[in-house]
Amino acid sequence: MSQIVYQRSAGLQDVETHYCPGCHHGIIHKLIAETLVELDLCASAVGICPVGCAVYAGNYLNCDFIEAAHGRAPAVATGVKRTHPNLPVFTYQGDGDLAAIGAAEIMHAAMRGEKFTTIFVNNAIYGMTGGQMAPTTLEGQKSTTSQLGRDRQHHGLPVRMAELLSTLDGMAYAERVCVADMPSLHKAKRAIKKAFTLQMQGIGFTFVEVLSTCPTNWGMSPVAAGQWVKDTMTQYYPLGVIKDVEGTL
């Protein structure tokens, strides 16, 4: 007798995504979709998508969505969550969106302990606009606006947002994960599910940073890009739980 062992999650809409080959957005979407289904949140969740490659996330995930101005997703999410405290609310933001133009909004959402979840996709570059330097671009990394490589004297060094935000009392849970291999992917899934679970318990701001690829703008094959996440990005952005107040309150 045949048995279904794998299929498209009911948390995803039945459409093709526009993401490049080897981009991890699709995998991260899938993990969120599975989480929404497993926690029975598809009917109630409201997602906020950023300006960046994930601007169409609302066409891919099977829940209500709001498209925010660049960097403002945490403010938009605040407006939704404060008026609908019982709904699960999450932002899905890239590193240009969250760590550059939206740095103030994410800091203050964390400071206020806003009870929503942020999925922060860090691929160390601006993807949609064509590979410009982000606050997360690694030292020496070449981008279209750091063509000789990021120079610490000129650009400063990249920011570790999960650690930075974890200094704030409003942050309840922060973990950095990647999806570059199966063990990491399972950990990422657990982190996302935990973030949504804690959100629904109302204990504070929850944050999952996902290291991700951008083969197109990195100039790498999908396989090499995945390897670069594991070998190079994790050296500067260590994986693991950075803050977890569960059980301490």
Partner 1 sequence: MQKELWKGNEAIAEAAVRAGCDAYFGYPITPQNEIPEYMSRRMQEENRVFVQAESEIAAINMVYGAAAAGMRAMTSSSSPGISLKQEGISYLIGAELPAVIVNMMRGGPGLGTIQPSQSDYFQATRSPGHGDGHMIVLAPSGIQEAVDLMQDSFDLADRWRTPVMMLADGMIGQMMEPIEWKQRPAAPAADKPWAANGQGERGHTNFVTSLRLDSVDNEAFNEALQQKYADIGRQETRYEAVDCEDAELILVAFGTTARIALSAARKLRQEGIRAGLFRPITLWPFPTQALQQVAGHPNVRAVLTVEMSAGQMVEDVRLALCGAKPVHFFGRTGGMIPEPAQVAQEIRRILKEEQA
Decide if residue 10 touches partner 1 (CB under 8 A): no
Residues from 84 through 143 that contact partner 1 (CB under 8 A): 84, 87, 104-105, 107-108, 112
Stretch that binds partner 1, among 63-71, 139-147, 162-170, 186-194 (CB under 8 A): 63-71
Decide if residue 63 touches partner 1 (CB under 8 A): yes
Pick between residue 108 and residue 155 the one whose CB is nearest to partner 1: 108
CB of 132 to partner 1, least distance (A): 20
Decide if residue 72 touches partner 1 (CB under 8 A): yes
Q: Which of 32, 42, 124, 233 binds partner 1 (CB under 8 A)?
A: 42
Decide if residue 171 touches partner 1 (CB under 8 A): no
Pick between residue 29 and residue 176 the one whose CB is nearest to partner 1: 29
Q: Which of 38, 64, 163, 244 binds partner 1 (CB under 8 A)?
A: 64
CA dist 35 and 195 (Å) reads: 10
Decide if residue 66 touches partner 1 (CB under 8 A): yes
Pick between residue 69 and residue 159 the one whose CB is nearest to partner 1: 69
Pick between residue 79 and residue 222 the one whose CB is nearest to partner 1: 79
Q: How long a stretch of residues is the chain?
A: 249
Decide if residue 83 touches partner 1 (CB under 8 A): yes
Decide if residue 37 touches partner 1 (CB under 8 A): no
- Listed residue (54, 63, 48, 88) closest to 13, CA to CA: 63
**Binding residues for partner 1, per CB under 8 A?**
13, 42-46, 48, 55-56, 58-59, 61-69, 72, 75-80, 82-84, 87, 104-105, 107-108, 112
